[in-house]
Amino acid sequence: MKKLLKFTCLLALVAVGCEPEKTPEPEPEPPVVEAPVFTLTSDATMTFAAEAEEGLITYQIENPTQTGMVDASADVGWIDNFGLQVYGAITFSVAINEVEEERTGTITVTYEDQSFTVTVVQQAGQPGLGSDYFREAEYLMGFYYGTRYSNEPNYYFHLSDKAFTSEGDFVPSAWYYRVDAYGPAPEEGQTICLPEGEYRFDPTNSFAQFTFSTQYSYYFELDENQEKSYAVKYTDGTMVVADGKITLSLTDEDGKTHHVTYEAETLEFWDESTSANNPGNPDPNPGSGDSNLTGDYQLNTENWEVNAYYYGNYYGNGNSNWVFNMRAPDRTGDAINLDMVTEGIGFELGIAGTYTCAMDFSAYTFFPGVFGSGAYTGTWYLQLYNGYVAGNQAPLWGGSIEITLNEDGTHTIDVQAYDNAEEPNLVSVTWTGTVNLYDMTASYAQKRPAKLSIQK
C-alpha cells in the first residue's frame, strides 16, 4: 500500500514538471505622433494708413498638442494689444503715426517650437495727427497793431474753415482760432507778415516777443445765426511759423488737443498800427484816443445806473475780471466804462477794493483806456448822446478807484483818476447806489463788442 502511494505521488510530480511553458504576449507598438504644423494663412506683409487701425492675422495648426499655446509679440511699441482668445485668429492694434516717414515693424507668432513672422508697414503720418481736433485752416485774417496795445509789436489773427466776408468779418456755421501774438516789428516799407519763429503760450500775459497771450486767444464756433455756440480758452500750446506755414499745437480748458495748420504764399497782415495811441508807451496822438479835457472834471451822475459784468478768470492769471457800465439808462450824459481785476476767482467775492491803473492784470488794478477800430476798451470817461461819444472823452491812465460795500448792500464808487494828457487832468466822481451784478462766465468769450469783431 505504501508503494502504491509513492508511485501515485511520483506520477503527479512528473505530470506537473512536464507541462510546456507559455509564450509571452508581444509589447504593443507605441502610436506614431505626428509633429504639429503651424502655418500662417493671412498675408505675410500688411500695410496700414497713418491713422490708428486694427489688424488681423490668421493661422492653422495641424496635429495640435494638448499643451501647446499660441503667443504673439512685436519688436516696436506702436504695434500692441494682441488678442489671442479665438482659435485661428490674432488681433492687434496699430497706433497713429505722427512722424512724416513710413515705418515698419515685425510681429512674431509662436507655437511650441515653431514660429512665423508678419511684417507691418505703416504709411507716413503728420505731427499732431492724434489730436482731438486735427485741422487745416483755409483762411487767415490778420491785423498788425504794432505797439498800440503793448510794449512789443502785436500780431492778432483768426484762422478759419470758412472765408471771411468782403468786409473782413465772421460768417455763420464756422470755426475760428483766435491768436494774440507778439513778435519782432516788420522792416520799414516792407509788407507786414507774421514773423517766422516758435511762439509759446503765455498764461501770464507778459506780451513778450514770440509769445501769444491768454488775454485774447481762444477757440470758438459760430452757429447758423452767427452766434457763439461754443467757446473755450487755451491752457497751453505752441505756434510755429516757417516757410509760409502756421502750425498751432494747443490744449484747451476742456483738456482737448488741437493741431491746426494754415499755409499760403505769404502770411500778410493788415496794418492797424497807427490807428490809436499806445498805453504801454504813452505818446499822445491827438485825434485818436487821447483826452480832450482842458482841466480837471467832476462828473454829473444824474440818473446813473451801474451794471457790473463778471467774466471770471478772463485773463488766465487766477484773478477775476469785471467790466462796469456807469451811465444813465438813455445813454446820454457823463459815463464811465471800467475794466478791472479783483483778487481770486469767484462771483461771490464781489467788487469791493481799491484799484490802481496797470496793464499786468494783477489784483486790484484797472486797465487803461484804449481806442481802436472805433471801439473804446479799458477804462474811460465818455460824454454820450444816445449811446454815441459826442463830447468829452478821457482814457483813464492813473489815480485810483475805490469801491466800498455798505451795510445796506449798496456800493459807493469813488473815482479819482487821471487822463493821458501831457499835464494829466483829474477825473472825479463819487456815486452811491445799487450795483447790478451779472455773472457772464457762461459766455465770457463774447466779452465786449470790440472783442466780438474781427479786430481787437
* Residue ranges covered by each domain of the chain: 37-122, 133-271, 297-441
Which among 436, 437, 433, 417 has a CA at the least distance from the CA of 299? Answer: 417
Instruction: Determine the Cα–Cα distance for residues 392 and 384; give it in Å rounded to an integer.
Output: 8
User: Has this prediction a pTM greater than 0.85?
Assistant: no
Contacts of 24 (CB under 8 A, 6+ apart): none
Residue 18: what pLDDT?
54
| CATH class of domain segment(s) 37-122 | mainly beta
Instruction: Determine the Cα–Cα distance for residues 286 and 292; give it in Å rounded to an integer.
Output: 8
Residue 317: what pLDDT?
83
Residue 426: what pLDDT?
96
Contacts of 145 (CB under 8 A, 6+ apart): 153, 154, 155, 156, 272, 273, 372, 456
93-136 tens-digit pLDDT: 999 887 878 999 999 999 999 999 999 999 987 776 677 899 99
Residue 451: what pLDDT?
35
Residue 59: what pLDDT?
96
Residue 278: what pLDDT?
35
Contacts of 71 (CB under 8 A, 6+ apart): 84, 109, 110, 111
Residue 282: what pLDDT?
32
CA 311 distance to own-chain centroid: 19
Residue 408: what pLDDT?
95
Residue 284: what pLDDT?
31
Residue 446: what pLDDT?
41
Instruction: Kindly give the parts of the chain with pLDDT less than 70.
Output: 1-22, 128-129, 166-167, 275-289, 372-374, 442-456
Per the CB < 8 A criterion, the answer to whether 208 and 182 are in contact is yes
